[in-house]
Structure 1
Amino acid sequence: MSGILLTSLFFILVGSVPVMAAPASVTPHGTAKFANPTATVNLSKNSAKFRRIWRQAIQAWNHTGAFHFVITKALANITTGTDSKLGADYPGMTYISLNKQGYLHRIDVELNPQALKIYRYSTSEMVNVAEHELGHAIGLNHNPNVASVMYPANRFYGIQKVDVEGVEQFYGTQLNGLAMANQTMTLRQPAVDVRGQRLFDGSGDGFVLLPWRFQGLYWPERSLLTELQRNAALLKEAVNG
């Protein structure tokens, strides 16, 4: 199985053949979640185009049965929007704050029209990015395998079984996050340019936490490009034997 994964990562790096993903492990989660697997979502800050995209992403999550979003025009747990000032490297961004009990409290999820246009994301790929950001909004972390909506640089996959299983496992356990009360964090999704199969991760991490507000809970990830280069080197070494 490891050989298949190494091959997949190598060809993502060189961009020479179509990518075949190895089976993904269950998508991991953090420690902060909603008290119940349901949350309200406001779409009012979006244009008609992006309201449709967010709505499709919400419907996709609701269809899984693992979590239920309720669209409202009132103040909501999750506010969706767009922001072209995020820069071309990031098609999506999630901002999270927790309440005094350590539960998810207020979340802002954004799509970046500039990056989506520059890298020619199709409508279905935009929906995939929206599903990814909503995954962060309910407490999911990145899945290192390509075949997950929560892959850090996801563009091609919608919600997968491993993502649903991650939510079901997470919301089937008791919260243990009181130490996280009144914290905030920011999660960035790097853009994928299919023309050259380039990965952009300007932060060097799959996501960035704000350390001055989020003490003792920083879990760094290596740059995606660094990880791909490392696995390509391992594959080359194995082939040359």
Structure 2
Amino acid sequence: MVQDAINAWNATGVVKLIVIKSPANAYLTIKNGNYGNTSWAGETTTRQSSTGKRSAEILLNNFYDAYLSYQSQVNVAEHELGLAIGLNHIDSQPSVMNSAISPDRSYPIQPIDIETVKAIYREK
């Protein structure tokens, strides 16, 4: 599921996420686990150092696997990766960045998500 989400973001051409073996050298770490009946299927914590280096930790809550389709699980991972690369929630239109999903409503990466990433990194 995580690899499918990484592949989906890489297929957009706006980012290139690379899986490495050493977490100590990673800007982004992803942990899967059963965190119980929480209000979240995924959670991302981001940090920015004084030098501007951005890092993030993503937690994916496997408790909800029984309630979500595989595609919805991939969409959750895509959403959390979106937060890690700098996107915010978008609830005004279909977007992988919608702040809530349900078993019958989740979105993969949309054109608005791609355009927003382009705008963020064009500014830097």
Answer yes or no: same fold by TM over 0.5.
yes
Q: Could you tell me whether the CA contact under 8 Å between 1:88 and 1:115 is conserved in 2?
A: no
Cα distance in 1, alignment partners of residues 97 and 65 from structure 2: 17
Q: What SS is found at the alignment partner of 1:79?
A: strand
Tell me if 1:163 matches 2:113. yes
- How many residue pairs match? The answer is 119
Deviation at 1:110, TM superposition (A): 1.4
Cα distance in 2, alignment partners of residues 99 and 66 from structure 1: 23
TM-score (norm 1): 0.47
Cα distance in 2, alignment partners of residues 101 and 87 from structure 1: 37
Q: What do residues 93-145 of structure 1 show as CA deviations (whole Å, max 9, x unaligned)?
A: 001111112331x311111011332xx10111100000000000001000022
Specify the code of the residue in structure 1 equivalent to 2:59: E
Q: Which residue of 1 aligns with 2:72?
A: 125
Deviation at 1:86, TM superposition (A): 5.6
Look at both structures and tell me which one has the larger radius of gyration over its CA atoms. 1
Task: Give the 5 Å matches for 1:1-241.
Answer: 53-75=1-23, 76-85=26-35, 87-104=37-54, 106-117=55-66, 120-154=67-101, 155-174=105-124
Q: What do residues 61-116 of structure 1 show as CA deviations (whole Å, max 9, x unaligned)?
A: 00000111011111311111123226332100001111112331x31111101133
Q: Could you tell me whether the CA contact under 8 Å between 2:10 and 2:17 is conserved in 1?
A: yes
Moved over 3 A (4+): none
Q: What do residues 3-39 of structure 1 show as CA deviations (whole Å, max 9, x unaligned)?
A: xxxxxxxxxxxxxxxxxxxxxxxxxxxxxxxxxxxxx
Specify the code of the residue in structure 1 equivalent to 2:89: H
Q: What SS is found at the alignment partner of 2:88?
A: coil
Overall identity of the aligned pairs, in % = 36
Task: Give the superposed CA RMSD.
Answer: 1.4
Q: Could you tell me whether the CA contact under 8 Å between 1:89 and 1:115 is conserved in 2?
A: no
Q: Which runs of 5+ in 2 are unaligned?
A: none
Cα distance in 2, alignment partners of residues 145 and 92 from structure 1: 21
Q: What SS is found at the alignment partner of 2:59?
A: strand
Cα distance in 1, alignment partners of residues 36 and 87 from structure 2: 22
Specify the code of the residue in structure 2 equivalent to 1:159: I
Specify the code of the residue in structure 2 equivalent to 1:124: Q
Specify the code of the residue in structure 2 equivalent to 1:62: N
Cα distance in 2, alignment partners of residues 143 and 167 from structure 1: 13
Q: Which runs of 5+ in 1 are unaligned?
A: 1-52, 175-241
Cα distance in 2, alignment partners of residues 110 and 142 from structure 1: 17
Q: What SS is found at the alignment partner of 2:123?
A: coil
